[in-house]
Structure 1
Amino acid sequence: MRVMELGHVVLYVRDLDVSVRFYRDVLGWRQILPGGDVAELAGAGFAAFAAPSGRTHHELLLIEVGPDAAPLPRGRRVGMYHFGLKIGDSDDELREAVRRLDEAGVPILGATDHHVTHSLYIADPDGNEIELYIDVPGIDWRADPTLIGTPPAPLRL
């Protein structure tokens, strides 16, 4: 067996309407199921999204588990740390993301220069951490994969 690519991420969420607004309206994902506006989602229990690129049938699936679901444990734990979303190819696109996140009231948890990527870290309404990143122009990590292990530094935009 050989993995070809990461196909999709599935997240449990407390409130589907809140999470749909975050992923669709703040991060710009294209909602594909169920169709229509957020009001039509009541009782649907799930929502699927695809990135604007249309790379695959769906890349994100949200499943509502309700307000009584256990929260994510804080600190070091087994499980997902974060997932990364490439949002462009320049720091200007990261700056635009900072502006949009600020307008939407989404706090930035961190900003890191990974030398091959420049990254912002945020959390969704349920506390799932998301890395928003750009590949640094001119860095050829394919020719030198050791660059991926370069110690990170604070990102200055």
Structure 2
Amino acid sequence: MTNQNQVALQTVPVPAKLAHVVLRTSQMLIMRAWYTSVLSAKTIYADDGLAFLTYDEEHHRIALLNMPNLKPQETGAAGVHHIAFTYGTLGDLVTTYERLRDGDIKPVYCTNHGPTTSLYYRDPDANQIELQIDNYDTIEEAAQFFYSPDFKANPIGVDFDPEDLVKRFRSGEDEAVIKRRPMIGERDLTSLPLQ
């Protein structure tokens, strides 16, 4: 690549943010209630065919399109694996887990990836939603983890029991220790759930 091409690549505009996700559903009311509960979102607009939900200053983060008679998702089909939402503190993630658990919404699996500690949920249409906390204070520290021998041996992470996470956090254990990923050896992409 020439220096001229490098300069051109550096001046190409990039998105300022990821604005929203739109989901098709045949279960509009159920899906709207689920996302309102899970994300503590408010409905900005809703009618029989469309709903806009947000949890922050954005006009909508999740949009739902009501499309009757959709087929259920097929396991193992190509498509989006999950959508992730980051919480500001470990306490916020733990409190959210407890609130959802007490409302009978439970994660399908929980993994400390290294850069994040993540709880994965499945919505009523079988879309996976990740609720996570960053484990490092800076993006640079998290990026360094991707070049570690531990990541090379195990790019997926270490599964954990969310009740153990709650117990450790509520007991006052140092958050840096809680968020540190244990070394368990090799694990590859074949261990990821398909949906």
TM-score range relative to shorter protein: 0.7 to 0.9
Cα-to-partner distance string for 1:28-77 (whole Å, 9 max, x where unaligned): 1121012xxxxxx4xx21100112x31x22111000112x21111112x3
Q: Note if 1:101 corresponds to 2:100.
A: yes
* Equivalent residue for 2:53, pick from 49, 56, 59: 49
Using the TM superposition, give the Cα deviation of residue 140 of structure 1 relative to its aligned residue in structure 2, in angstroms: 2.6
Q: Which residue of 1 aligns with 2:175?
A: none
Count of residue pairs brought into register by the alignment: 143
Which protein has the bigger strand share?
A: 1
Equivalent position amino acid for 2:71 in 1: A
Question: Displaced runs of 4+ in structure 1, greater than 6 A?
Answer: none
Q: Which residue of 1 aligns with 2:120?
A: 121
Q: Could you say what secondary structure the match of 2:95 adopts?
A: helix
Q: Could you say what secondary structure the match of 2:133 adopts?
A: strand
* Superposition CA RMSD, Å: 1.9
Cα-to-partner distance string for 1:78-113 (whole Å, 9 max, x where unaligned): 1100000113311x3222222222222223111111
Segments of 5+ residues of structure 1 without an aligned counterpart are 35-40
Judging changes above 3 Å, is the alpha-carbon distance between structure 1 residues 2 and 130 closer, same or farther for their aligned structure 2 residues? same
Q: Which residue of 2 aligns with 1:154?
A: 159
CA distance, structure 2, for counterparts of residue 130 and residue 116 of structure 1: 17
Which protein has the bigger helix share?
A: 2
Higher relative contact order (CA 8 A, sep 6+): 1
Equivalent position amino acid for 2:78 in 1: V
TM-score using structure 1 length: 0.81
Q: Which residue of 2 aligns with 1:9?
A: 21
Larger gyration radius, structure 1 or structure 2 = 2
Equivalent runs, 1:28-67 vs 2, <5 Å: 28-34=40-46, 41=47, 44-51=48-55, 53-54=56-57, 56-66=58-68
Using the TM superposition, give the Cα deviation of residue 142 of structure 1 relative to its aligned residue in structure 2, in angstroms: 2.2
Q: Note if 1:73 corresponds to 2:85.
A: no
Identity score, percent: 27
